Structure 1
């Protein structure tokens, strides 16, 4: 009987020791699991300090930088059919920036050549002799699309470097106007500005057949 009473204190001590260990374990906070998601992102990124190696045979994919702005823009302008559209088409054909100042210059220039209401006269808004069959600028083109192409070609021919440079800058309609006045485009030189209007321009549509539509 005494031997049985001696075992009970030992068992009690063992039970208390196990309970203490469990309590200690439960009190230790769990280590945080590193997150591989950045705030506000839904893609996985490696934890800090971790690197990713790519096999030598794997080539990086190149992203095409080709632009279709000119082609798409041209078709949109042809469909629009106005004098503003034609002015922008010349700028696109000449690879000049389509800025507000460049468009304003083109619109004023077209108005001085053929007037506003009849800007599409002979499908030759700038009375351009190149490619129109009329060296004096009185020739005609099959369509306004052709006229835009030849206008840009003539301006970039090297005969009008100051005009080309001003259009490349695209920052001043007045500066480009002064360049065209001083050029051999018109024998009158537009009176060096006295025969040049800076009033607001009107947006006028040309007949569909003038565009070849």
Structure 2
């Protein structure tokens, strides 16, 4: 059962609370906020900067690098990239090579200088100009320049040639070079071996061979020894076994 008082108050409140109609005001359109416009412009600037960084190439070591107009994003433009001073350039390695004088090269050359070098190679002595000069003078005293390959025995070596007096011969000049080095390192010529190992004086090595037992005349202890410039003369291919 409803409370009559409550129902009467509600009815009265409805009557009192009847809405009042007011005339409607026209609201002018709101203009865009300046603050919101600035924020939108900032966002567009950031996006433009990020797009430019994505297109731009990575910096290369070595400082500022101008790019050719043809390589730039827009024809006619030139870009410059600044690189930090602490960026190190990559290390480039260079291979090194050492050239050695081999037997085949000397045999192909075929001259008296090549044979002198071949003796030095067989004895593992340094191929210096002083050592070559000594060898050329020595060969000239033994056989003469024009026929230095006589009997394929340029130094008139008795070891391995079949002639103890040095009048023997070898099959080729290659064997002659081997036995010449072997004889000089046999222990009978230590001063000559040591002088060739130094390789710094043709005159000192010549004095060592004069004082040795290689030649009974001892080359007159230098009086029969010529120091004039040597000539480069080629031997016949057959003397080399070619």
TM bracket, shorter-chain basis: 0.7 to 0.9
Separation in structure 1 between the aligned mates of residue 122 and residue 150 of structure 2, nearest angstrom? 20
Gap change, CA 1:25 and 1:173, over 3 Å in 2: same
Structure whose CA Rg is larger: 2
Unaligned runs of 5+ in 2: 1-24, 63-85, 89-94
The yes-or-no answer on 1:155 pairing with 2:184 is yes
**For residues 144 and 122 of structure 1, what CA distance do their matches in structure 2 show?**
9
Return structure 1 stretches of 4+ with deviation > 6 angstroms.
Answer: 24-30
**1:198 matched to 2:227:** yes
In the alignment, what sits opposite 1:42? Answer: none
Q: How many pairs align? A: 186
Q: What is the alpha-carbon distance in structure 1 between the residues aligned to residue 28 and residue 38 of structure 2? A: 19
Distance 2:58 2:204 in 1: 62
Computed over aligned residues only, the root mean square deviation of the Cα atoms, in angstroms, reads: 3.1
* Residue deviations 1:166-210 (CA, integer Å, cap 9, x gap): 111111111111111111111111111111000011111212211
Alignment of 1:73-88 (within 5 A): 73-88=102-117
Residue 37 (structure 2) aligned to one of 15, 18, 31: 15
Map Cα deviations across residues 41-83 of structure 1 (whole Å, 9 max, x no partner): xxxxxx979xxxxxxxxxxxxx9x9x7834xx31121122111
Distance 1:212 1:9, change over 3 A: closer
Structure with bigger RCO (C-alpha 8 Å, 6+ apart): 1
Q: Distance in 1 between matches of 2:189 and 2:128?
A: 20
Kindly state the Cα deviation for residue 20 of structure 1 after the two structures are TM-superposed. 4.3
Aligned partners of 1:163 and 1:177: how far apart in 2? 8
Closer/same/farther in 2, CA of residues 8 and 38 from structure 1, 3 Å limit: closer
Q: How does 1:14-33 map to 2 (within 5 A)?
A: 14-20=36-42, 22-23=44-45
Shift of 1:23: 4.7
Gaps of 5+ in 1: 40-46, 50-62
For 1:206 and 1:24, the matched residues in 2 are separated by 85
Question: What is aligned with 1:90?
Answer: 119
Q: Give the one of 69, 77, 85 matched to 2:100.
A: 69
Partner of 1:101: 130
Task: Tell whether 2:118 aligns with 1:118.
Answer: no
Q: Is the 8 A contact 2:61 2:87 kept in 1?
A: no
Change (3 A) 1:21 1:207: closer
Distance apart, 1:123 and its partner CA: 0.8
Match of residue 179, structure 1, among 184, 187, 208: 208
Which residue is equivalent to 2:174?
A: 145
Q: TM-score, normalised by structure 1?
A: 0.75
